[in-house]
Amino acid sequence: MAELTLVDAVTAALDWELGHDESVVVLGEDVGVNGGVFRATNGLQRKHGADRVIDTPLAEAMIAGMAVGMAAEGLKPVAEIQFMGFIYPAVDQLINHAARLRNRTRGRLSCPMVLRAPFGGGIHAPEHHSESTEAMFAHMPGLRVVIPSSPARAYGLLLAAIRDPDPVVFLEPKRIYRLARQEVANDGAALSLDVCYTLREGTDVTLVSWGAMTQETLEAADRLQAEGVSAEVIDVATISPLDIETILESVARTGRLVIVHEAPRNCGVGAEIAALVAEHGIYDLKSPVQRVAGFDTIMPLYRLEMDYLPGVTRILDAVHVTLEG
């Protein structure tokens, strides 16, 4: 066991797979010599060689296209996009090729690639560096979208993503890259994809979140406990395909649901969760579903960034509303 930060866990998972599977390659801007903009690939090129950890030009469409071609020919590429705000040139390759390859070839080819990208706000980065547009990728059939919220889940979920036979968009919440350390067994054990993780059991309200906002959600649950309110906390982890059954089972026990995410509220993943609960669990609800989200505007830079991100107070306010409903 070693105490790792989330970014350490990403490095450890990449190192493990590079060392145990010769078909795995890592590619992206500055991932080799410099070890990545957030140091997530630090030391990997020195250890595994420049033919396994490949520095590329500044060309996101090319990086994604190379990954698709590598995957179709039997490799398992893990491509890094430096920031989610730079991911959009790669979307063409993801939508038209990676996500469709298995269907287009009627199963003759698959696309076992991972596209990693740091995402989200909270580090006061310049424009194009603080986006949370995970809903866009969740809308694409054929893609898995995975978001870890702790070092242990980052390690296990990234291993699972690399081993998956289909394309995975793996979004890493950079605000919590180095927020805390957690004991992680570097033993190559993967976690399950496509399932939610119940982080805390409760009886009065279900709190659902993912990524960096899981931290504020857990803190809100602690404060609710001091008020005598028992909150169940669920980390979605894989937002597509969505494990709605775990959420529905929780809502059946608690009767109340608050969804927390930092992406804009309009057409966010929270809206899909709320709709599915309304379709399949409306008779279990004792009050309307509440959503706590970012605002429907461009992320305001520097001074207002932390005001844009949902905080514990906003989560508590939403819980109090649903408890009174």
Q: Could you tell me the fold of the domain covering 197-324?
A: Rossmann fold (3.40.50)
What distance in Å separates the CA atoms of residue 102 and residue 275, rounded to the nearest whole number? Answer: 29
Q: What is the assigned CATH class of domain 2-184?
A: alpha beta
Dihedral sign computed on CA atoms, order 29, 34, 40, 41: positive
CA distance 89 to 92: 7
Instruction: Tell me if 168 sits within 8 A of 143, measured CB to CB.
Output: yes
**pLDDT tens for the 325 residues of the chain, in order:** 899 999 999 999 999 999 999 999 999 999 999 999 999 999 999 999 999 999 999 999 999 999 999 999 999 999 999 999 999 999 999 999 999 999 999 999 999 999 999 999 999 887 778 989 999 999 999 999 999 999 999 999 999 999 999 999 999 999 999 999 999 999 999 999 999 999 999 999 999 999 999 999 999 999 999 999 999 999 999 999 999 999 999 999 999 999 999 999 999 999 999 999 999 999 999 999 999 999 999 888 778 899 999 999 999 999 999 999 7
| Buried b or exposed e, range 232-265, using 16+ CB within 10 angstroms | bbbbbbbbbebbbebbbebbeebbbbbbbbbbbb
Catalytic residues: 129
- Predicted TM-score (pTM) of the model is 0.97
Are the C-beta atoms of 269 and 239 separated by less than 8 Å? yes
Residue among 84, 172, 81 at smallest CA distance from 128: 84
Ranges of each domain in the chain: 2-184, 197-324
